[in-house]
């Protein structure tokens, strides 16, 4: 092929269009159309377009929305703290069994939510290890698998591996001389964390955090296995859909779930100045 | 300016380093660095020079038994943050989340110096390194040479008692390297701070070091002034690593080495017998009408501008390298008579 033509404006444009076409078709067919259909569908129930309003004003729906956001935010914060520390440690230190440990830590990524829920029940359910242990110690039966704590634990369990891997990859790329330079200038470990490590890992922390938050917002399997008392948004959608057959509300909630997730991520991104950091 | 602390003298006693995987990076060694001295560690990669620097810096600790002294205070257990050293890295290691001025001020900031004192000191350093215009710039907007200037200013800002350089110019191109080398030299002279400079570039070591420590395989091969290292290398490794060296073997007798191509004068009385001598390319010239020591044939000639480098065959096992001033207009294959201008060294043990 003639390289000269490729350099010319028209040639490049045509080529770009041809290359982009499949992506445009897939985007249109599997994102734009279903989303538009969903948006319209949500307005086709008894409430009409007011379905959207109902989702964010009705106490039961609103409570579900808020608890989902709070839970996801808490899980994200805890995961970033735990995964961040563990990730930096694992990328810095090599010891016998290092590979095996990383493999074991990332194993939960393959588990479906139901399995994660089951593990939480095994740990903190009615016949759970913690309950039995507490009973043996005379502290009464401790059961928190079916509460917010149980959900938090389950979400944490499947979130950590993803964050861990992202942070490890980023920490390995961080120039160790940066930390040594800070030490030579007299910086304390806390100052190094604040001035070198966190800024250096910021892009990774933000993308890992976003992934973690979005996954938590939409997690269903774990909640389904555990939820007896709490209703996170995906559960509420499921209930509306199957139990009450209110598909319009279910559709409206789905879109609100997506919109809220996007909004929170956008706000977090703005607040941390990720735009600049990610571009640099 | 606050009065300057007297320069620091450093002493290492029996310092060895074995890495966690069992690699012996350094054999036990003793070393003394005089107050205000600039010592260059020179050697090929993997010779242990960076490990030795890290022991002095406090980034690594020596194997048990090794001790590091700063003046008469033992600092072996002290980590780098408590040794008052300034360090300059090959990768610059500037903080990308801070501006040039913030980078320079960092050491003062973590020590809790008040803001106005910091500002004065930063201005002083920006002027000293002639980078005033860059004060507000982000690090990724700087060129390599500018980055190393900032790194230098950052290391000097808290007035360290010892400056450590870990191949600071390796990542720069030749011309910039030369310019910055001169600048570092001037700076070290002005500050009078004791400094250790690690490099694998012999020209850098010769230009900057008051003394040079040539290292090989985790051992010190020779310590000496640039002059001593160049003219009296302790062994074949040092001779080969620093500059170019010719080797000719033959029979030594009466202060000369005799070989089929002629004879070479020796710099000292050497026991008679089979032996080998070494001499530098610039100590040889074309004999012309004067006394001729050696005869060979011209194998190649390279015009280098200020001099011409000739390769002459038929004398040693390998071609003899001869540097002569100015151009040489001889066809290849011509017989060339050579004269050794300063006596050659008898080669000692080889590595």
CB contact under 8 A, A187 and B110: yes
Q: What are phi and psi of B161, to 5 degrees?
A: -90, -10
Q: What is the ipTM of this complex?
A: 0.84
The 3-state DSSP class for residue B337 equals strand
pLDDT over threshold 90, residue B119: yes
Number of alpha carbons in the 13 Å side-chain half-sphere of residue B158 = 32
When pLDDT is averaged across residues B217-225 and rounded to a whole number, the result is 94
Give residue B71's pLDDT: 93
Q: Give B176: exposed, middle or buried? Use CB within 10 Å, 0-12, 13-18, 19+.
A: middle
When pLDDT is averaged across residues B137-162 and rounded to a whole number, the result is 94
**CATH architecture, domain B244-346:** Beta Barrel (2.40)
Longest alpha-carbon distance in chain A: 83
User: CA quadruple B308, B313, B314, B315: dihedral positive or negative?
Assistant: positive
Structure tokens at B215: 């290292």
Tell me whether A194 touches chain B (CB under 8 Å). no
| CATH code that applies to domain B10-240 | 3.40.50.300
- As a whole-number percent, the residues of chain A with pLDDT over 90 amount to 27
Give residue A7's pLDDT: 53
Give residue B348's pLDDT: 57
The 3-state DSSP class for residue B336 equals strand
Give residue A9's pLDDT: 56
Residues of chain B with CATH 3.40.50.300: 10-240
Tens of pLDDT, residues B157-212: 999 999 999 999 988 888 889 889 999 999 999 999 999 999 999 989 999 999 99
Residue with tokens 């330079």: A181
When pLDDT is averaged across residues A119-133 and rounded to a whole number, the result is 86
- Please name the residue of chain B whose CA is at the shortest distance from the CA of residue A198: B97
Domains and CATH numbers, chain A: 1-42 (no CATH), 49-279 (1.10.3720.10)
Local confidence band at A134 (pLDDT 50, 70, 90 cut-offs)? confident
Among A243-247, A267-271, B84-88, the range with the most confident prediction by mean pLDDT is B84-88
- Please name the residue of chain A whose CA is at the shortest distance from the CA of residue B153: A185
How far A170 CA sits from the closest chain B CA (Å)? 15
Q: For chain B, what is the mean pLDDT?
A: 90
The 3-state DSSP class for residue B301 equals strand
Q: Nearest CB to B106: which of A180, A185, A188?
A: A185
Local confidence band at A10 (pLDDT 50, 70, 90 cut-offs)? low
Task: Measure the CA–CA gap between A78 and A154, rounded to whole angstroms.
Answer: 12
Residues of chain B with CATH 2.40.50.140: 244-346
Q: Give B86: exposed, middle or buried? Use CB within 10 Å, 0-12, 13-18, 19+.
A: buried
Local confidence band at B4 (pLDDT 50, 70, 90 cut-offs)? low
How distant, in Å, are the alpha carbons of B122, B201, B230, B238, B241 from that of B279? Answer: 50, 21, 11, 13, 14
When pLDDT is averaged across residues B119-137 and rounded to a whole number, the result is 93
Q: Is B159 left (phi over 0), alpha (psi -120 to 50) or beta?
A: left
Higher-confidence position of A219 and A48: A219
Tens of pLDDT, residues B233-289: 988 899 888 888 898 888 888 888 898 888 888 887 777 888 888 899 998 988 877
Q: Nearest CB to A184: which of B80, B96, B98?
A: B80
When pLDDT is averaged across residues B320-324 and rounded to a whole number, the result is 91
Give residue B350's pLDDT: 38
How far A183 CA sits from the closest chain B CA (Å)? 5
Give residue A239's pLDDT: 84
């Amino acid at each position: 092929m003639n390289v000269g033509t490729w350099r010319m404006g028209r040639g490049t444009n045509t080529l770009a269009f041809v290359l982009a076409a499949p992506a445009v078709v897939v985007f249109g067919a599997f994102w734009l159309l279903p989303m538009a259909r969903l948006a319209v569908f949500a307005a086709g129930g008894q409430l009409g377009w007011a379905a959207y309003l109902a989702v964010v004003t009705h106490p039961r729906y609103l409570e579900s929305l808020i608890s989902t956001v709070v839970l996801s935010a808490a899980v994200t914060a805890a995961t970033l703290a735990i995964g961040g520390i563990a990730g930096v440690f694992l990328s810095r230190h090599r010891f016998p069994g290092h590979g095996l440990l990383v493999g074991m830590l990332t194993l939960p990524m393959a588990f479906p939510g139901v399995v994660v829920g089951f593990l939480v029940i095994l740990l903190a359910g009615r016949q759970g290890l913690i309950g039995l242990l507490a009973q043996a110690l005379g502290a009464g039966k401790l059961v928190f698998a079916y509460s917010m704590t149980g959900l938090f634990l389950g979400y944490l369990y499947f979130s950590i591996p993803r964050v861990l891997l992202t942070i490890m990859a980023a920490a390995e790329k961080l120039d160790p001389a940066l930390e040594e330079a800070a030490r030579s200038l007299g910086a304390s470990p806390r100052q190094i964390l604040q001035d070198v490590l966190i800024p250096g890992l910021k892009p990774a922390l933000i993308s890992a955090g976003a992934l973690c938050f979005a996954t938590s917002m939409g997690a269903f399997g774990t909640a389904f296995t555990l939820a007896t008392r709490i209703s996170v948004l995906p559960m509420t959608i499921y209930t509306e859909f199957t139990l009450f057959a209110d598909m319009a509300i279910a559709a409206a909630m789905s879109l609100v779930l997506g919109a809220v997730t996007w909004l929170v991520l956008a706000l977090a991104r703005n607040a941390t100045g990720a735009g600049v950091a990610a571009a640099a | 300016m606050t009065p300057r602390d007297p320069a620091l003298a450093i002493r290492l006693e029996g310092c060895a380093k074995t890495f966690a995987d069992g690699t012996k990076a350094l054999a036990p060694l003793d070393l003394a660095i005089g107050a205000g001295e600039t010592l260059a560690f020179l050697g090929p990669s993997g010779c242990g020079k960076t490990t030795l620097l890290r022991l002095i810096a406090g980034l690594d600790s020596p194997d048990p038994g090794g001790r590091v002294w700063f003046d008469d205070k033992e600092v072996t257990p002290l980590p780098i943050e408590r040794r008052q050293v300034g360090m300059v890295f090959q990768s610059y290691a500037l903080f990308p989340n801070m501006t040039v001025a913030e980078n320079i001020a960092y050491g003062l900031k973590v020590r809790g110096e008040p803001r106005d004192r910091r500002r004065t000191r930063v201005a002083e350093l920006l002027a000293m390194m002639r980078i005033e215009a860059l004060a507000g710039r982000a690090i990724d907007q700087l060129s390599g040479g500018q980055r190393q200037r900032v790194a230098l200013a950052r290391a000097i800002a808290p007035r360290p008692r010892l400056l450590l350089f870990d191949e600071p110019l390796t990542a720069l191109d030749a011309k910039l390297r030369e310019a910055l080398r001169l600048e570092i030299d001037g700076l070290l002279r002005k500050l009078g701070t004791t400094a250790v400079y690690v490099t694998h570039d012999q020209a850098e070591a010769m230009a900057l070091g008051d003394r040079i420590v040539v290292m090989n395989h985790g051992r010190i091969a020779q310590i000496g002034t640039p002059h001593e290292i160049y003219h009296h290398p302790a062994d074949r490794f040092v001779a080969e690593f620093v500059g170019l060296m010719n080797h000719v073997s033959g029979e030594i007798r009466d202060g000369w080495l005799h070989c089929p191509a002629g004879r070479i004068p020796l710099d000292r009385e050497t026991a008679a017998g089979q032996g080998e001598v070494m001499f530098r390319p610039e100590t040889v010239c074309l004999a012309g009408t004067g006394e001729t020591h050696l005869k060979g044939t011209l194998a190649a000639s390279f015009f280098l501008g200020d001099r011409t480098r000739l390769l002459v065959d038929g004398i040693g096992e390998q071609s003899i390298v001869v540097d002569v001033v100015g151009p040489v207009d001889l066809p290849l294959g011509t017989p060339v008579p050579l004269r050794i201008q300063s006596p050659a060294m008898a080669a000692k043990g080889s590595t």
